[in-house]
Structure 1
Amino acid sequence: MKIGYIRVSTKEQNTIRQETLMESLGVDEVYIDRMSGKDTHRPELQKMMAYVRRGDTVIVESISRFARNTRDLLELTEQLTAKGVEFISQKESIDTTTPTGKFMLTVFGAVAELERAYILQRQREGIAIAKEQGKYTGRKPVEHPEFDEVVRRWKRGEMTAVQAMKKLGMSRSTFYRHVRGEAEKHHKGEAWKGYPK
Protein backbone atom coordinates (compact mmCIF):
# COMPACT_ATOMS: atom_id res chain seq x y z
CA MET A 1 0.00 0.00 0.00
CA LYS A 2 0.95 3.64 -0.51
CA ILE A 3 0.53 5.55 2.74
CA GLY A 4 0.54 9.34 2.70
CA TYR A 5 1.52 11.53 5.63
CA ILE A 6 0.50 15.20 5.71
CA ARG A 7 1.32 17.83 8.34
CA VAL A 8 0.51 21.51 8.68
CA SER A 9 1.63 23.61 11.64
CA THR A 10 -1.77 24.93 12.73
CA LYS A 11 -5.45 24.12 12.38
CA GLU A 12 -5.84 27.23 10.21
CA GLN A 13 -3.39 26.08 7.57
CA ASN A 14 -4.80 24.34 4.53
CA THR A 15 -3.98 20.72 3.66
CA ILE A 16 -5.53 20.78 0.16
CA ARG A 17 -2.22 21.19 -1.69
CA GLN A 18 -0.66 18.18 0.04
CA GLU A 19 -3.86 16.13 -0.29
CA THR A 20 -4.02 16.86 -4.04
CA LEU A 21 -0.43 15.64 -4.37
CA MET A 22 -1.24 12.42 -2.51
CA GLU A 23 -4.26 11.82 -4.74
CA SER A 24 -2.15 12.29 -7.88
CA LEU A 25 0.35 9.72 -6.56
CA GLY A 26 -2.38 7.15 -6.01
CA VAL A 27 -2.02 7.01 -2.24
CA ASP A 28 -4.36 4.48 -0.55
CA GLU A 29 -4.42 5.89 2.98
CA VAL A 30 -3.66 9.37 4.33
CA TYR A 31 -2.77 10.49 7.86
CA ILE A 32 -3.01 14.21 8.69
CA ASP A 33 -1.55 16.07 11.68
CA ARG A 34 -2.36 19.73 12.32
CA MET A 35 0.36 20.67 14.77
CA SER A 36 4.02 21.61 15.12
CA GLY A 37 6.58 19.12 13.87
CA LYS A 38 9.02 19.91 16.70
CA ASP A 39 8.99 16.27 17.82
CA THR A 40 7.54 12.90 16.83
CA HIS A 41 4.76 12.89 19.44
CA ARG A 42 2.04 13.53 16.87
CA PRO A 43 -1.10 11.35 17.07
CA GLU A 44 -1.57 10.68 13.35
CA LEU A 45 2.14 10.08 12.80
CA GLN A 46 2.17 7.53 15.61
CA LYS A 47 -0.95 5.84 14.18
CA MET A 48 0.67 5.66 10.76
CA MET A 49 3.93 4.23 12.12
CA ALA A 50 1.94 1.51 13.90
CA TYR A 51 -0.24 0.82 10.83
CA VAL A 52 2.39 0.37 8.09
CA ARG A 53 3.46 -3.15 7.12
CA ARG A 54 6.25 -4.77 5.07
CA GLY A 55 5.94 -3.81 1.42
CA ASP A 56 4.17 -0.50 2.14
CA THR A 57 5.54 2.85 0.99
CA VAL A 58 5.24 6.02 3.07
CA ILE A 59 5.05 9.18 0.96
CA VAL A 60 5.46 12.76 2.18
CA GLU A 61 5.45 16.05 0.29
CA SER A 62 8.77 17.10 1.85
CA ILE A 63 11.12 16.17 4.68
CA SER A 64 10.00 19.19 6.74
CA ARG A 65 6.43 17.81 6.83
CA PHE A 66 7.74 14.54 8.29
CA ALA A 67 10.48 15.62 10.73
CA ARG A 68 12.04 18.90 11.86
CA ASN A 69 15.53 17.65 12.74
CA THR A 70 17.98 15.08 11.43
CA ARG A 71 17.77 12.85 14.50
CA ASP A 72 13.97 12.47 14.28
CA LEU A 73 14.14 12.01 10.52
CA LEU A 74 16.73 9.23 10.72
CA GLU A 75 14.98 7.54 13.66
CA LEU A 76 11.65 7.48 11.83
CA THR A 77 13.12 6.20 8.57
CA GLU A 78 15.11 3.55 10.48
CA GLN A 79 11.85 2.38 12.11
CA LEU A 80 10.25 2.17 8.66
CA THR A 81 13.23 0.29 7.22
CA ALA A 82 13.11 -2.19 10.13
CA LYS A 83 9.48 -2.92 9.22
CA GLY A 84 10.35 -3.34 5.54
CA VAL A 85 8.63 -0.08 4.61
CA GLU A 86 9.97 2.28 1.92
CA PHE A 87 10.07 6.06 2.33
CA ILE A 88 9.64 8.64 -0.41
CA SER A 89 9.90 12.42 -0.06
CA GLN A 90 8.46 13.93 -3.21
CA LYS A 91 10.03 17.39 -3.06
CA GLU A 92 13.56 16.13 -2.51
CA SER A 93 13.14 13.08 -4.80
CA ILE A 94 14.32 10.76 -2.04
CA ASP A 95 13.66 7.02 -2.26
CA THR A 96 15.13 4.83 0.50
CA THR A 97 15.09 1.71 -1.67
CA THR A 98 18.37 2.93 -3.22
CA PRO A 99 21.78 3.62 -1.60
CA THR A 100 21.80 7.08 -3.20
CA GLY A 101 18.35 7.77 -1.76
CA LYS A 102 19.51 6.80 1.74
CA PHE A 103 22.55 9.07 1.44
CA MET A 104 20.46 11.96 0.13
CA LEU A 105 18.03 11.50 3.01
CA THR A 106 20.84 12.13 5.51
CA VAL A 107 22.14 15.12 3.57
CA PHE A 108 18.75 16.80 3.14
CA GLY A 109 17.89 16.17 6.77
CA ALA A 110 21.10 17.90 7.88
CA VAL A 111 20.48 20.84 5.53
CA ALA A 112 16.88 21.26 6.78
CA GLU A 113 18.11 21.31 10.39
CA LEU A 114 20.84 23.83 9.54
CA GLU A 115 18.31 26.14 7.88
CA ARG A 116 16.11 25.99 10.95
CA ALA A 117 19.08 26.83 13.18
CA TYR A 118 19.88 29.84 10.96
CA ILE A 119 16.26 31.06 11.22
CA LEU A 120 16.35 30.81 15.03
CA GLN A 121 19.70 32.62 15.10
CA ARG A 122 18.29 35.45 12.96
CA GLN A 123 15.29 35.70 15.28
CA ARG A 124 17.57 35.98 18.33
CA GLU A 125 19.71 38.61 16.61
CA GLY A 126 16.57 40.56 15.64
CA ILE A 127 15.31 40.49 19.23
CA ALA A 128 18.71 41.64 20.53
CA ILE A 129 18.70 44.60 18.12
CA ALA A 130 15.09 45.46 19.02
CA LYS A 131 15.99 45.38 22.73
CA GLU A 132 18.91 47.76 22.13
CA GLN A 133 16.53 50.13 20.34
CA GLY A 134 13.93 49.75 23.09
CA LYS A 135 11.38 48.24 20.72
CA TYR A 136 11.17 44.78 22.31
CA THR A 137 9.37 44.29 25.57
CA GLY A 138 9.05 40.50 25.58
CA ARG A 139 5.90 38.57 26.27
CA LYS A 140 3.02 40.31 27.95
CA PRO A 141 2.63 39.14 31.55
CA VAL A 142 -0.26 36.78 32.19
CA GLU A 143 -3.07 38.65 33.88
CA HIS A 144 -5.66 36.86 35.98
CA PRO A 145 -9.02 38.65 36.28
CA GLU A 146 -9.33 37.71 39.97
CA PHE A 147 -5.72 38.47 40.93
CA ASP A 148 -6.36 41.72 42.85
CA GLU A 149 -9.32 40.28 44.75
CA VAL A 150 -7.48 37.07 45.66
CA VAL A 151 -4.44 39.04 46.89
CA ARG A 152 -6.70 41.28 49.01
CA ARG A 153 -8.28 38.21 50.61
CA TRP A 154 -4.84 36.70 51.20
CA LYS A 155 -3.56 39.92 52.85
CA ARG A 156 -6.65 39.99 55.09
CA GLY A 157 -5.83 36.42 56.18
CA GLU A 158 -8.96 34.95 54.59
CA MET A 159 -6.89 32.41 52.66
CA THR A 160 -3.36 31.04 52.74
CA ALA A 161 -0.76 31.80 50.07
CA VAL A 162 -1.03 28.19 48.88
CA GLN A 163 -4.81 28.55 48.46
CA ALA A 164 -4.32 31.83 46.60
CA MET A 165 -1.75 30.26 44.24
CA LYS A 166 -4.06 27.32 43.59
CA LYS A 167 -7.01 29.58 42.83
CA LEU A 168 -4.94 31.65 40.42
CA GLY A 169 -3.21 28.63 38.89
CA MET A 170 0.20 30.15 39.62
CA SER A 171 3.45 28.70 40.87
CA ARG A 172 4.98 30.11 44.08
CA SER A 173 7.62 32.12 42.20
CA THR A 174 5.09 33.53 39.70
CA PHE A 175 2.64 34.46 42.47
CA TYR A 176 5.20 36.37 44.55
CA ARG A 177 6.68 38.00 41.45
CA HIS A 178 3.22 39.33 40.52
CA VAL A 179 2.59 40.47 44.09
CA ARG A 180 5.92 42.33 44.16
CA GLY A 181 5.12 43.88 40.79
CA GLU A 182 1.77 45.16 42.03
CA ALA A 183 3.33 46.44 45.24
CA GLU A 184 6.01 48.32 43.33
CA LYS A 185 3.37 49.86 41.05
CA HIS A 186 1.27 51.07 43.99
CA HIS A 187 4.08 52.02 46.35
CA LYS A 188 6.74 53.61 44.14
CA GLY A 189 9.57 54.93 46.23
CA GLU A 190 8.69 52.80 49.26
CA ALA A 191 10.92 49.92 50.32
CA TRP A 192 9.54 46.44 49.65
CA LYS A 193 8.42 45.15 53.02
CA GLY A 194 7.04 41.82 51.84
CA TYR A 195 3.73 40.11 52.39
CA PRO A 196 2.72 37.29 54.70
CA LYS A 197 3.88 33.86 53.61
Structure 2
Amino acid sequence: MILGYARVSTDQQNPAAQTDALKAVGAERIFTDKISGAKRMRPDLDRMLDQLRPGDVVVVTKYDRLARSLRDLLDLVEMIKEREAGFRSLAEDIDTTTPAGRLAFHVFASIAQFERERIAERTKEGLQAARARGRVGGRPPALTQAQKTEVRHMRD
Protein backbone atom coordinates (compact mmCIF):
# COMPACT_ATOMS: atom_id res chain seq x y z
CA MET A 1 0.00 0.00 0.00
CA ILE A 2 1.21 3.51 -0.76
CA LEU A 3 0.77 5.87 2.18
CA GLY A 4 1.17 9.58 1.56
CA TYR A 5 2.33 12.11 4.15
CA ALA A 6 1.79 15.85 3.72
CA ARG A 7 2.76 18.62 6.13
CA VAL A 8 2.40 22.36 6.23
CA SER A 9 3.80 24.52 9.00
CA THR A 10 0.76 26.65 9.85
CA ASP A 11 -3.03 26.54 9.73
CA GLN A 12 -2.93 29.35 7.13
CA GLN A 13 -1.08 27.14 4.64
CA ASN A 14 -2.93 24.69 2.41
CA PRO A 15 -1.58 21.16 1.78
CA ALA A 16 -3.73 20.71 -1.37
CA ALA A 17 -0.78 20.75 -3.80
CA GLN A 18 0.95 18.04 -1.76
CA THR A 19 -2.16 15.87 -1.46
CA ASP A 20 -2.88 16.20 -5.20
CA ALA A 21 0.67 15.05 -6.04
CA LEU A 22 0.41 12.14 -3.59
CA LYS A 23 -2.92 11.02 -5.08
CA ALA A 24 -1.39 11.23 -8.57
CA VAL A 25 1.25 8.62 -7.63
CA GLY A 26 -1.33 6.27 -6.18
CA ALA A 27 -1.38 7.07 -2.47
CA GLU A 28 -4.30 5.12 -1.04
CA ARG A 29 -4.25 6.93 2.29
CA ILE A 30 -2.89 10.41 2.98
CA PHE A 31 -1.94 11.65 6.43
CA THR A 32 -1.69 15.42 6.89
CA ASP A 33 -0.26 17.50 9.73
CA LYS A 34 -0.41 21.28 10.15
CA ILE A 35 2.59 21.76 12.41
CA SER A 36 6.25 22.76 12.18
CA GLY A 37 8.60 20.10 10.86
CA ALA A 38 10.88 20.82 13.80
CA LYS A 39 8.27 19.27 16.11
CA ARG A 40 8.70 15.53 16.49
CA MET A 41 5.23 14.98 17.98
CA ARG A 42 2.99 15.11 14.91
CA PRO A 43 -0.33 13.27 15.31
CA ASP A 44 -0.87 12.12 11.72
CA LEU A 45 2.78 11.15 11.26
CA ASP A 46 2.57 8.98 14.37
CA ARG A 47 -0.74 7.49 13.18
CA MET A 48 0.80 6.68 9.78
CA LEU A 49 3.87 5.05 11.34
CA ASP A 50 1.62 2.93 13.57
CA GLN A 51 -0.28 1.67 10.52
CA LEU A 52 2.77 0.76 8.40
CA ARG A 53 2.96 -2.86 7.31
CA PRO A 54 5.70 -4.80 5.52
CA GLY A 55 5.77 -3.86 1.85
CA ASP A 56 4.13 -0.45 2.32
CA VAL A 57 5.78 2.65 0.87
CA VAL A 58 5.64 6.09 2.52
CA VAL A 59 5.59 8.83 -0.11
CA VAL A 60 6.20 12.57 0.43
CA THR A 61 6.40 15.36 -2.12
CA LYS A 62 9.72 16.60 -0.68
CA TYR A 63 11.73 14.99 2.07
CA ASP A 64 11.67 18.18 4.17
CA ARG A 65 7.92 17.56 4.59
CA LEU A 66 8.85 14.54 6.71
CA ALA A 67 11.58 16.16 8.84
CA ARG A 68 13.60 19.35 9.20
CA SER A 69 16.84 17.97 10.66
CA LEU A 70 19.10 15.30 9.20
CA ARG A 71 19.03 13.33 12.43
CA ASP A 72 15.23 13.32 12.56
CA LEU A 73 14.97 12.40 8.88
CA LEU A 74 17.39 9.50 9.28
CA ASP A 75 15.56 8.30 12.40
CA LEU A 76 12.17 8.39 10.66
CA VAL A 77 13.43 6.59 7.56
CA GLU A 78 15.04 3.99 9.86
CA MET A 79 11.67 3.50 11.64
CA ILE A 80 10.05 2.99 8.25
CA LYS A 81 12.76 0.49 7.30
CA GLU A 82 12.34 -1.41 10.61
CA ARG A 83 8.69 -1.93 9.70
CA GLU A 84 9.92 -3.42 6.40
CA ALA A 85 8.45 -0.51 4.45
CA GLY A 86 10.03 1.85 1.94
CA PHE A 87 10.35 5.62 1.65
CA ARG A 88 9.94 7.65 -1.50
CA SER A 89 10.36 11.39 -2.09
CA LEU A 90 8.90 12.70 -5.32
CA ALA A 91 10.88 15.94 -5.76
CA GLU A 92 14.26 14.35 -5.15
CA ASP A 93 13.33 11.09 -6.95
CA ILE A 94 14.50 9.04 -3.98
CA ASP A 95 13.26 5.51 -3.40
CA THR A 96 14.84 3.66 -0.46
CA THR A 97 13.60 0.33 -1.73
CA THR A 98 16.67 0.27 -4.02
CA PRO A 99 20.42 0.50 -3.15
CA ALA A 100 20.90 3.52 -5.44
CA GLY A 101 17.88 5.20 -3.86
CA ARG A 102 19.31 4.67 -0.36
CA LEU A 103 22.62 6.23 -1.42
CA ALA A 104 20.86 9.20 -3.03
CA PHE A 105 18.75 9.63 0.10
CA HIS A 106 21.79 9.93 2.36
CA VAL A 107 23.52 12.37 -0.01
CA PHE A 108 20.45 14.63 -0.28
CA ALA A 109 19.83 14.52 3.46
CA SER A 110 23.41 15.61 4.16
CA ILE A 111 23.16 18.49 1.69
CA ALA A 112 19.87 19.66 3.21
CA GLN A 113 21.37 19.66 6.70
CA PHE A 114 24.38 21.63 5.44
CA GLU A 115 22.07 24.18 3.78
CA ARG A 116 20.05 24.69 6.99
CA GLU A 117 23.23 25.18 9.02
CA ARG A 118 24.52 27.77 6.53
CA ILE A 119 21.20 29.65 6.71
CA ALA A 120 21.44 29.69 10.51
CA GLU A 121 25.04 31.01 10.30
CA ARG A 122 24.07 33.79 7.89
CA THR A 123 21.13 34.77 10.08
CA LYS A 124 23.36 35.02 13.17
CA GLU A 125 25.93 37.04 11.23
CA GLY A 126 23.23 39.43 10.02
CA LEU A 127 21.87 39.92 13.54
CA GLN A 128 25.37 40.59 14.91
CA ALA A 129 26.05 43.14 12.15
CA ALA A 130 22.74 44.89 12.89
CA ARG A 131 23.54 45.02 16.63
CA ALA A 132 26.99 46.44 15.83
CA ARG A 133 25.22 49.27 13.95
CA GLY A 134 23.06 49.96 17.00
CA ARG A 135 19.90 48.21 15.84
CA VAL A 136 17.98 46.60 18.65
CA GLY A 137 15.82 43.71 17.52
CA GLY A 138 12.82 42.12 19.09
CA ARG A 139 9.37 43.29 20.01
CA PRO A 140 8.92 46.90 21.15
CA PRO A 141 8.24 47.30 24.87
CA ALA A 142 4.57 46.92 25.79
CA LEU A 143 4.75 49.72 28.38
CA THR A 144 6.37 53.13 28.30
CA GLN A 145 8.74 54.12 31.09
CA ALA A 146 5.96 56.26 32.62
CA GLN A 147 3.57 53.29 32.57
CA LYS A 148 6.18 51.05 34.21
CA THR A 149 6.66 53.65 36.95
CA GLU A 150 2.89 53.83 37.48
CA VAL A 151 2.62 50.01 37.72
CA ARG A 152 5.39 49.92 40.32
CA HIS A 153 3.70 52.74 42.22
CA MET A 154 0.35 50.89 42.19
CA ARG A 155 2.01 47.66 43.29
CA ASP A 156 3.79 49.33 46.21
Global fold match (TM > 0.5): yes
Write the mapping of 1:90-169 to structure 2, written as runs, cut at 5 A.
Answer: 90-134=90-134, 136-140=135-139, 143=142, 151-155=152-156
Could you tell me how far apart the structure 2 residues matched to 1:148 and 1:13 are?
A: 43
* Deviation for aligned residue 1:39: 3.6
Q: What is the CA-CA distance between 1:154 and the residue it aligns to?
A: 3.6
- Aligned residue for 1:91, secondary structure, equals coil
Residues 129-150 of structure 1: per-residue CA shift (max 9 Å, x gap): 211222x322226648x97776
TM-score (norm 1): 0.71
Per the alignment, residue 62 of structure 1 pairs with 62
Could you tell me which runs of 5 or more consecutive residues in structure 2 were left unpaired when the two chains were aligned. none
Q: Which residue of 1 aligns with 2:32?
A: 32
Q: Is the 8 A contact 1:70 1:106 kept in 2?
A: no
Report which stretch shifted further, 4-13 or 34-43: 34-43
Amino acid at match of 2:101: G
- What is the Cα deviation at residue 102 of structure 1? 1.1
- 1:117 is displaced (CA, Å) by 0.7
Q: Size of the alignment, in residue pairs?
A: 153
Structure showing greater relative contact order (alpha-carbon pairs closer than 8 Å, 6 or more residues apart): 2
SS at match of 1:33: strand
Q: Which residue of 2 aligns with 1:74?
A: 74
The secondary structure found in structure 2 opposite 1:128 is helix
Matches within 5 A, 1:7-22: 7-22=7-22
Correspondence for 2:85:
85
* 1:5-61 deviation digits (Å, cap 9, x = unpaired): 001111111212111101111111111111111142212111111121112110001
Give the superposition deviation at 1:152.
4.1
Larger Rg: 1
Structure 2: which amino acid aligns with 1:3?
A: L
Q: TM-score, normalised by structure 2?
A: 0.88
SS in 2 for 1:53: coil
2: CA distance, partners of 1:151 / 1:53: 62
State whether residues 69 and 110 of structure 1, in contact with CA within 8 Å, keep that contact through their aligned partners in structure 2. Answer: no
The alignment yields a C-alpha RMSD, in angstroms, of 2.0
Q: What is the one-letter code of the residue matched to 1:16?
A: A
